[in-house]
Structure 1
Amino acid sequence: MPLRHRAVPEEIRVSNSVTYWPVAPMDLMVGAPIVARLLLGATPVGRVVQAAALGAYLGSAVRDWRDRRGIRKIDFRREFGADVRDLVPMPREVREAEVSTLVDRLNDEFTPQRIPRRQLATEVDRHLTDYIAEVTGQYVRTSAEVRGFAFVGLVLPFAVGACDILSGDVTLFRDTGPCEPFVIAHEFTHRKGYWKELHAQGLAYLALVASGDPALTQSARLERLQRNLSVLSANDTSAFTRL
């Protein structure tokens, strides 16, 4: 278990201003010249809009970078006893036992509750922020905005969500049902400055399990179950189905 800081936590805010734009910033920068050409038949206007969008995007990214410099990151080795460079493989029998436990808990504590996405994002962000603050003694306040569409999703058909690491802009590409709280928590962890995938996976899971909310806890357990089954099946679809 991680250490808990008992001192009054400090607070840091990251503006993530582009996350409040009505259109994904990358969509605007790429689409502006195309729209201008179609509507006006002249590319200079599109270039001006593109340059303005790029300037606003980079300005926001610089402000966010400046704000994030004050974040006190979690030392995973110290708090959890391991980090991405020194992981120890889980024995198969231990993983199988965990699968059995997860299945029992998911069946016993099943909830059909679905929280509307905007409300869900706010709740997930709150629990994630609180969990990180318990470990570091610092509240990292970031945007709780989530997009439902961005053109980048068309070139990433395998992804369910993404976070722009410069701006913190988060998009969910599809409805993942009861797994959605975890997807949001994972991307929000990136938004709070944790770029490594395993860090995002771990913090998202721990924050949701500690939340006390049935739907959030269920989502974390589903993600953990899916990961375990993927490892046990060696990512073979037919073997995964049999498990």
Structure 2
Amino acid sequence: MILQPPYTLAFTPQRIVSLVPSQTELLHYLGLEEETVGITKFCIHPKEWYRNKTRVGGTKTVNPAAIKKLQPHLIIANKEENVKEQIEELANEYNVLVTDVNNVSEALQMISCIGTLTGKDKEATQLITRIENNFSTIHQPAIPIKTAYLIWNNPYMAAGGGTFINDMMDKAGLKNIFQDNKRYPGITIADLQIAGCQLLMLSSEPYPFKQKHIDELQQHLPNTKIILADGEMFSWYGSRMLLVPEYLHSMRREW
């Protein structure tokens, strides 16, 4: 079944499958080494789990047979990361938590929820406090910088409003020029020019932008600062958030 609020189980799960990379990393942070029995091929952190844990397909291509062999007590999925039909099929046989994270506040709620379900309340609460304290050190520029964050190439796609990335940009003092567009709109170079884009960030994921893409775009946007951005820092809503404030501080040298 798909778990509903208040997201409780009658027992603490001893066999967990994670279908979300950022939440796999969170499970590791919470100390669920033995309990986590399955991950996806995109769950690259931590490295030792990527090498040693059973992989159950991709985030969009889950392998039900591989999951069945693991007989999980709990599957952790995400509304945006995973395919609805695949998750509903799994929910016919297993307990499934489907998270829905669109901002920092919801990310902290998710951490608390997973901590409660897995018997790691104390560790989750301590993590939330550390994240909140770290985020309180972020210094925003006096005037928000008109910014676009590209996640895909050919066609170009940007992070729009209602996304976790958009909220992270806001926390950094960056004004997302596509925040009035929901989710991940397709955009053109002309859109960037018309909006007066001052800073253009090219993400490392899901499309792996490189320096050559900066060079291509810079020809059309001579007055725009274009940089590569670590997609994990802007879109991984788990323990990775601990590192975000320091990362933003280092990035400002390029803005």
Query: Do both proteins adopt the same fold according to a TM-score greater than 0.5, normalized to the shorter chain?
Result: no
Q: Normalising by the residue count of structure 1, what TM-score does the alignment of the two structures yield?
A: 0.25
Q: Normalising by the residue count of structure 2, what TM-score does the alignment of the two structures yield?
A: 0.24
Q: Normalized per residue, which structure has more strand?
A: 2
Q: Normalized per residue, which structure has more helix?
A: 1
Larger radius of gyration: 1
Higher relative contact order (CA closer than 8 Å, sequence separation 6+): 1
